[in-house]
Structure 1
Amino acid sequence: MSDQPNLQSRTERDSMGEREIPADAYYGIQTLRAMENFPISGIKPLPTYVDACVLIKKATAIANAELGCIPQDIGDAIVRAADEILEGSLRDQFVVDVYQAGAGTSHHMNVNEVLANRALELLGDKKGNYQRVSPNDAVNYGQSTNDVIPTAIRIGSLLALQRHLYPAMADAIAICDRKASEFHDVVKSGRTHMQDAVPVRLGESFRAWAQILTEHVIRVEAAAKELTILGIGGSATGTGLNTHPQYRDRVVNVLSGLIRIPLRPALHLMAAMQSMGPFVNMSGALRNLAQDCVKISHDLRLMDSGPNTGLKEIQLPPVQPGSSIMPGKYNPVMAEMTSMVCFQVMGYDSAIALAAQAGQLELNVMMPLIAYNLIHSIEILGNTIQALSDRCLPDITAKRDRCEAYAESSLALVTALNPHIGYLDAAAVAKESLETGKSLRQIVLDRGLMNEEELSRVLDLQKMSARPGTI
């Protein structure tokens, strides 16, 4: 038997024994055990979630080194390792399935091990020499999965909002406002109960969507404020065991500077660690936004339906062929995709609600599910709205003749006649029009209910469809 060292692996030891770790791996023995235990989905942690965890580790290393809790050179090496990861290095080393050990201990240790091993290299040492830089005693000093993971969900969600959702919402609102101005003079038939209703402006439909999205931004921002209150420093159960008295405030201040978002410590650390309420609240705001995005996407599809047998009041930009068998067909794919993503967000919201109520005593062990579902919801919803803004909304055109024809032929125009000829006569006019196909105008004139000048003034589509105060 050879006495030569195995160059393909290194030996690591934990409380359960020894295991061989690939020599080039930056993760360690606890990560290896998690990989073996949880071959569930193949879904790895979201990059934004990794960013959040690494930012927390950077902030804690800075604070603990400043407070003398870990040696300065060790703290500096952890910070350098964290910066490399934040710049894109070692991303393939975060390997634990999102469906994993309760509370997120497996992912947490994955992060601790990668940072420890890279810090060791930066110090000129070998990976696995945890006597010098320990994943638990140095990288994780004064921390627990139980306060790090809920903090990471908060930071990850805030980062996702800044990177994905807020910019997309701003673009969509701006485009809807522009289309509102472009289509200001386009009158179309309104519809309620999927039946004819009094006329509306196409531009006002877009302006309404802009207002709806604006109000959703306000709701999401309100929910996000709760995410800026951090329970970091609570350690295992919220008592702050094994932390420096100044650690909590120091970490929050450093972390606030790193992400450029004002943060503050929770008034009661145990409460911040136990309750998933802020995540349920944010998820609810996302679900609310998603349901209105479904409504908008369905309206776009209805108004674009056709081209010959549907409404076809607008033309959505064709972005790809729509059929493998029907030549010349295109489909409203951007709107269809929007609905699918929104349905997924709604499903994630249900899972988050179930997971949030499943905590016991001092810990909610379902946090990995909440972390993935919440951050992923923010990202895919933001990416979807951005794609809709980039690939669909700006290039929508109005089928003006079609819109005007529907508006002119709507039986609901009779509503404007009520004050002038009375409800019963107006109903009789509508009935005759439906039975004979004659226009409302012709029937009113034939019956001598109004003269042509009065009728033209009352049935002025531009005035009828104007928003109050605009004419």
Structure 2
Amino acid sequence: MSDVTPRPELTLWGQQTDAALHHFRVGQETLPEVMIHAYGQLKFCAADTHLKQGRLEQTIAEAIKQAARQLFTGELDNQFPLSLWQSGSGTQSHMNVNEVLATLATQALEGRQRVHPNDHCNLGQSTNDSFPTALHIACVTLLKKGLLPTLQQLIQQFELLAGRWQHILKTGRTHLQDATPLSLGQEFSAYAAQLSQSEQRLTANLPELLSLTMGGTAVGTGINTRSDFAATFCAGLNDLTGFEFTPCDNFFAAQACHDAIVQLSGSLNTLASSLNKIASDLRLMASGPRCGLGELTLPANEPGSSIMPGKVNPSQCEMLNMVCAQIMGNHQTITIANAQGQFQLNTFKPVIALNIIQSLELLTDALSSFDEFCVSGIEANETQLQTTMSQSLMLATALTPHLGYDKVSEIVDYASKQKLSLRQAVIDLQAMSAEDYDRLIRPEEMITPRQNR
């Protein structure tokens, strides 16, 4: 076994972190940086709240706030080496935070006062209320500053293509078989709509994520805090972050389970399933270029093969498919972990944090890449789309109101077996005149409902 991360030359942590380094040499995963930064914001606001309440001396409170600012600005990221696989409450990582802050605050006071990791940095707090609070801060930050804006940009790109290609007709497909026509723009409008619905679902998660457990301490009773601590803390955090956090309605529930995170993960899982379908559609439509569907051309960002010259693969789509698979797996882990709470505390918090943060970060990065290097450069192969649509026997659906289902089925079967065009089959079977066929089979009029007559 070895340490999870290399030990920096200057270490600011203390004995509890050293003990955890010895006892939890498991894997390479550490607490995500965004959680560390969220803990910095939390500790800054907690110290400020205790200063306002007269529970911390001003010199100590200001020293802790100064150290906490270094924490949430990312200056201390190398001071958090612990394996994520630790106590299910996240106590070891929380004490790592407290020890680093205490060391820096003591240094800032030049030895005039000793700042204690528990008595000062953790005053009126516990891991049980601070860890889920930091997790919610991290999730809101990643949602509002990362995933939602990135998703909105991708939606706009699909909407742009939907409008641009509204006039291009193509063969529809159901069960991977030919179906009635639609426009390429209509097909892409479905992608925009799917993603817009996911955006709405994600946004609907925010009220619960903005509800914080801070002030519940060990089991939800608020022991060792004052009655106004939670509200004052949230007000300070809102000033610091620009968000609208509030104390949760029931601390007991919020510490015993993480249903808000499961719900968020469920929304991410839904988004992943939509994205997987969209990326798979694009791969199929771009298959070829000569022996596949060949309806779309995707950007050629890099050589696709180490052995076949000139080959271009749908690499961005495949990347997104893999990310979606990971998100779906993460959701299963989060669901199982949330079900493991006993009595007043869920004790699978670190693995929940790892997976939900990975899902948020992966989707943000993947959507940005997919938009920039794939969707924004897609080209429609109009000639191929027109050719395949004109050969489709499913255009016969427009004849059903005039000839009946059974007769049209006979025509389609005849055309298929004789390898004839639909038009020629209609003429051969004397189902109607060529003039009537040409009047009725107008694909551009088959992509919307008939006007009322």
C-alpha deviation, 1:149, in angstroms = 0.7
Match of 1:312 in 2: 294
Match of 2:405 in 1: 423
Q: 1:41 aligns with which of 18, 22, 27?
A: 27
C-alpha deviation, 1:463, in angstroms = 1.4
Q: 1:109 aligns with which of 77, 95, 101?
A: 95
Number of aligned residues: 445
Rounded to whole Å, the distance in 2 between the matches of 1:58 and 1:217 is 32
Match of 2:306 in 1: 324
Superposition map of 1:252-401 within 5 A: 252-401=234-383
Q: TM-score, normalised by structure 2?
A: 0.95
C-alpha deviation, 1:339, in angstroms = 0.7
C-alpha deviation, 1:350, in angstroms = 0.6
C-alpha deviation, 1:257, in angstroms = 2.0
> Is structure 2 residue 48 aligned with structure 1 residue 62?
yes
C-alpha deviation, 1:468, in angstroms = 7.8
C-alpha deviation, 1:224, in angstroms = 2.3
Rounded to whole Å, the distance in 1 between the matches of 2:416 and 2:428 is 16
Q: TM-score, normalised by structure 1?
A: 0.92
What letter corresponds to residue 149 of structure 1 in structure 2? F
Q: 2:137 aligns with which of 145, 155, 169?
A: 155
**Aligned residues with identical type, % of pairs:** 38
Moved over 6 A (4+): none
> Is structure 2 residue 124 aligned with structure 1 residue 142?
yes
Q: 2:152 aligns with which of 167, 170, 184?
A: 170
Rounded to whole Å, the distance in 2 between the matches of 1:201 and 1:456 is 20
Match of 1:92 in 2: 78
Q: 1:92 to 1:274 in 2, by over 3 A?
A: same
Match of 2:3 in 1: none
Q: Which moved more, 1:265-274 or 1:58-67?
A: 265-274
> Is structure 2 residue 104 aligned with structure 1 residue 122?
no
What letter corresponds to residue 64 of structure 1 in structure 2? H
Rounded to whole Å, the distance in 2 between the matches of 1:331 and 1:415 is 36
Rounded to whole Å, the distance in 1 between the matches of 2:396 and 2:227 is 75
What do the CA deviations read for 1:225-275 (whole angstroms, capped 9, x no partner)?
211111110111111111122211110111122221111111221111112
Rounded to whole Å, the distance in 1 between the matches of 2:110 and 2:375 is 55
> Is structure 2 residue 430 aligned with structure 1 residue 457?
no
Indicate if the aligned counterparts of 1:161 and 1:379 stay in contact, CA closer than 8 A.
no
What letter corresponds to residue 87 of structure 2 in structure 1? A
Rounded to whole Å, the distance in 2 between the matches of 1:43 and 1:219 is 29
Match of 2:186 in 1: 204
Indicate if the aligned counterparts of 1:66 and 1:72 stay in contact, CA closer than 8 A.
no
Rounded to whole Å, the distance in 2 between the matches of 1:380 and 1:30 is 32
Indicate if the aligned counterparts of 2:168 and 2:184 stay in contact, CA closer than 8 A.
yes
C-alpha deviation, 1:380, in angstroms = 0.5
Match of 1:448 in 2: 430
Match of 1:411 in 2: 393
Structure 1 residues without counterparts, runs of 5 or longer: 1-20
Indicate if the aligned counterparts of 2:37 and 2:73 stay in contact, CA closer than 8 A.
no
C-alpha deviation, 1:372, in angstroms = 1.0
What do the CA deviations read for 1:175-223 (whole angstroms, capped 9, x no partner)?
0001111111111111111111001111111111101100001111112
Give the CA RMSD over aligned residues.
1.6
C-alpha deviation, 1:449, in angstroms = 2.4
Match of 2:4 in 1: none
C-alpha deviation, 1:318, in angstroms = 1.2
What letter corresponds to residue 389 of structure 1 in structure 2? D
C-alpha deviation, 1:465, in angstroms = 2.1
Structure 2 residues without counterparts, runs of 5 or longer: 1-6
